[in-house]
Amino acid sequence: MTTGFTEPAKKHLGQNFLHEKGVIAKIVQAIDPQPGDVLVEIGPGQGALTFPLLERHGELTAIEFDRDLHAPLQAAARAHGTLHLIAGDVLGVDFSALAAHAGDARGQIRLVGNLPYNLSSPILFHALEHAGAIRDMHFMLQKEVVERMAAAPGSKVYGRLSVMLQAYCTVTPLFTVPPGAFRPAPKVDSAVVHLVPKPASAIAVRDHAAFADVVRAAFGQRRKTLRNALSGSATPEQITAAGLRPDARAEQIAVAGFVRLANLVAARGG
């Protein structure tokens, strides 16, 4: 790839570098940066997405954990645009503070990234905590994770990730990417997904902690009925009052059902 990057890919950091030009172009086209947008890339690696985005947009902020990549990335980026590199763990980055300080006219950022697959769920939950500061997200993830994110009730892969993300974001899978597009090639197919956080007025969840607790408990024991799985967090009366059947299983309950139940639990003091 680009000269200056001498270290081999580090498996423990989820380093599968994109090299397929057609895929990179498709991702940049999907992001379609507009004047005034503030792009923040998670895990720029060797710049596969960073440099084409800089060519297109002129400027971006990137967060990279691997110290060995910082100097070559900075050096190679100069030919393409202005890179603001944050050296460190993305999970320690306060997106709300970043957006307040450097965001667009609405105080928001656009997150992009070919994510380290071992950290995809923590990164998604971290982003959810700062959803108000994020205009949208384009992420490359394992295809199986994207399927879970977008799954509907009744699907085998509908679970905590589907409910938590869909309560706060519109989730749109965009396209699948085969292992051969990366070096080294991962063992599984990947997919690009677009997430758009809902405006605060469209989010029905009243108490985020109560919602997260109910969803975690319901899917913690997904083979059990709601009555049993939620025995520590909601009464059968609350389940019924939320319009749900206590003998139903979590995988049958729509996002709105979990929201109603969590709001009732929160209103009655948990």
Which residue has 């083979």 as its token pair?
A: 223
The residue among 45 and 197 lying less far from ligand SAM, judged by its C-beta, is: 45
The residue among 2 and 225 lying less far from ligand SAM, judged by its C-beta, is: 2
| 3-state secondary structure (DSSP) of residue 63 | strand
Pairing label, strands 169-177, 190-197: antiparallel
The residue among 133 and 140 lying less far from ligand SAM, judged by its C-beta, is: 140
By CB under 6 A, residue 63 contacts ligand SAM: yes
Near ligand SAM by CB under 6 A, which window of 39-47, 103-111, 155-163, 199-207?
Answer: 39-47
CB of 259 to ligand SAM, least distance (A): 31
- Where residue 151 falls (left for φ over 0; alpha for ψ -120 to 50; beta otherwise) is beta
CB of 57 to ligand SAM, least distance (A): 15
Question: Would you say 211 and 160 are in contact if contact means Cβ atoms under 8 Å apart?
Answer: no
Residue type, 143: K
Of 23, 60, 61, 66, the residue at the interface with ligand SAM (CB under 6 A) is: 66
Q: Which residues pair with 249 in a beta bridge?
A: 225
By CB under 6 A, residue 76 contacts ligand SAM: no
User: Which candidate, 109, 101, 157, 154, places its Cα nearest to that of 133?
Assistant: 109
By CB under 6 A, residue 116 contacts ligand SAM: yes
By CB under 6 A, residue 5 contacts ligand SAM: no
By CB under 6 A, residue 159 contacts ligand SAM: no
By CB under 6 A, residue 18 contacts ligand SAM: yes
The residue among 62 and 253 lying less far from ligand SAM, judged by its C-beta, is: 62
Number of residues that bind ligand SAM (CB under 6 A): 23
Beta strands in the chain (DSSP E): 17-18, 39-42, 59-64, 82-87, 109-114, 134-142, 169-177, 182-183, 190-197
- 245-to-226, 228, 229, 234, 240 alpha-carbon distances in Å: 8, 12, 13, 13, 6
Near ligand SAM by CB under 6 A, which window of 8-16, 52-60, 94-102, 230-238?
Answer: 8-16
Question: Would you say 212 and 266 are in contact if contact means Cβ atoms under 8 Å apart?
Answer: no
Instruction: Give CA–CA dist 182/190, Å, rounded.
Output: 10
The residue among 88 and 220 lying less far from ligand SAM, judged by its C-beta, is: 88
Of 28, 49, 169, 261, the residue at the interface with ligand SAM (CB under 6 A) is: 49
By CB under 6 A, residue 103 contacts ligand SAM: no
211 Cα distance to chain centroid:
18
- Interface with ligand SAM by CB under 6 A: which residues? 13-18, 42-46, 48-49, 63-66, 89-91, 114, 116, 119
